[in-house]
Amino acid sequence: MNEDPVDEKRRKWIRRLTILVAIWGILSLEFSSIVFGVIFILFAVLIYLSKSFTVIYVLGVILWILGAIQLLNAAGFNTGFTVSAAYGIELVIVAVANFVIGGLIIYRTRKLKHA
């Protein structure tokens, strides 16, 4: 019996996303924020173990929130905590990357969920 191609796409997406989030977590540990690096690595483990689209949506929202906080910090607003070791244009680039990656994660997951 052949497997459903949608299920195969979902499995591939979850596997690829797990790898992407783990790499993003390692990069965050090295260059940005230890706290968010650990959170991303834990999300990678959670996505891999649960294979839940809800967890993936939450990850996308967290990336958006992180991007918003980083943009506010780059604009000079005092948000009460620092989420990145980067400053200035580097912080803006990381914030935009978080927005884009969060949006792509939500878009791709929604597309696969309704396929």
Q: Scan for tokens 């990357």, then name that residue.
A: 97
The more confidently predicted of residues 101 and 28 is: 101
- Reported as a pLDDT band with limits 50, 70 and 90, residue 91 is confident
The more confidently predicted of residues 104 and 89 is: 104
Task: Return contacts of 87-94, CB within 8 angstroms, 24+ apart.
Answer: 94/32, 94/70
**Per-residue pLDDT at 4:** 67
**Per-residue pLDDT at 6:** 66
**Per-residue pLDDT at 33:** 74
H helices of 1-115, in order, are 5-31, 34-50, 53-74, 89-113
Among 50, 52, 90, 49, residue whose Cα is nearest residue 71? 90
The pLDDT tens digits of the residues spanning 34-72 come to 888 898 999 999 999 998 899 999 999 999 998 888 888
The more confidently predicted of residues 12 and 79 is: 12
The token duo for 77 is 């607003």
Kindly report the average pLDDT of the chain as a whole number.
85
